[in-house]
């Protein structure tokens, strides 16, 4: 019987000691077991490092603070998996996520990247729901291309390159556009939530919303025009 393919789960982190244990535990709770977890610590000054080092089998890299694209690339360059999955250190995965996506790949030979639904958790009373809520039509477009939910055949990075380190925010959106520009099918989507996205007030995307919004609007204009 052939061994199930290795999945590399990439987890960049920066001063997320409050949440990272839950993120790590959610990866180890996956019912798909042939995984490697790669945590790249982007120069944290809290006790993130102490928590991560409690786990002996994590591939852990502590680097100078250079931003999330550099951290993602460090994880990618040290990955050995056939497939790449993501879990941001303030989020967490539901137990069936990786097994469901691996099964999807088995059933769809043309698939190179598959997304899932996600759910927002508002973990800060100061965040107003109406400030982050978007229309159902816009959410549908964004949700189906939310990179943290994705599992990606690593060969796509070999073809089109890693994350663009010139983007301090929106690097995931730029990568998705690069895949699409080169003709990759981005319509593989599992219509079920497997990813819990935490909004706590210090999220990079929320803090950099003015810069990030232009990338979001590019997606929306393209997606709406195709409907």
pLDDT in tens, 148-171: 999 999 999 999 999 999 877 778
Domain membership of residue 40 as a residue range: 7-225
Q: Is 18 part of any domain?
A: yes
- What distance, in Å, lies between the first and last C-alpha atoms of the chain? 44
Q: pLDDT tens-digit profile of 111-145?
A: 999 999 999 887 665 555 544 555 455 555 566 78
Q: Is 2 part of any domain?
A: no
Q: What rounded mean pLDDT belongs to the chain?
A: 86
Contacts of 160 (CB under 8 A, 6+ apart): 178, 179, 182
| C-alpha closest to that of 219 among 146, 135, 113, 116 | 146
H or E element, residue 39: strand 35-41
Please give the pLDDT value at position 169: 77
Does the structure show a pLDDT above 60 at 44? yes
Does the structure show a pLDDT above 70 at 214? no
17, 47 Cβ separation under 8 angstroms: yes
Q: Is 201 part of any domain?
A: yes
Does the structure show a pLDDT above 90 at 220? no
| C-alpha closest to that of 163 among 86, 82, 93, 102 | 86
Q: Is 12 part of any domain?
A: yes
Place of tokens 């730029």: 174
Please give the pLDDT value at position 142: 63
- Angstrom distance (rounded) from CA 204 to CA 212: 9
Count of structural domains, the chain: 1
């Amino acid at each position: 019987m052939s061994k199930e393919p290795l999945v590399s789960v990439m987890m960049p982190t920066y001063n997320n000691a409050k949440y990272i244990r839950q993120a790590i535990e959610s990866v180890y709770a996956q019912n798909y077991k042939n995984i490697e977890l790669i945590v790249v610590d982007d120069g944290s000054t809290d006790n993130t490092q102490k928590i991560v080092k409690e786990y002996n089998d994590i591939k852990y890299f502590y680097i100078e603070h250079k931003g999330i694209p550099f951290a993602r690339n460090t994880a990618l360059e040290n990955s050995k998996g056939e497939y790449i999955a993501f879990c941001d250190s303030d989020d967490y995965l539901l137990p069936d996520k990786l097994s469901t996506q691996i099964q999807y790949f088995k059933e769809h030979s043309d698939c190179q990247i598959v997304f899932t639904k996600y759910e927002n958790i508002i973990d800060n009373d100061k965040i107003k729901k109406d400030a982050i809520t978007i229309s159902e039509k816009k959410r549908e477009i964004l949700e189906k291309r939310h990179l943290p939910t994705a599992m990606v055949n690593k060969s796509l990075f070999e073809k089109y390159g890693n994350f663009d380190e010139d983007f301090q925010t929106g690097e995931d959106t730029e990568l998705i556009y690069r895949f699409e520009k080169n003709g990759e099918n981005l319509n593989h989507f599992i219509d079920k939530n497997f990813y819990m996205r935490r909004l706590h007030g210090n999220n990079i995307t929320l803090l950099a919303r003015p810069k990030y919004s232009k990338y979001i609007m590019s997606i929306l204009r393209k997606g709406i025009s195709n409907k």
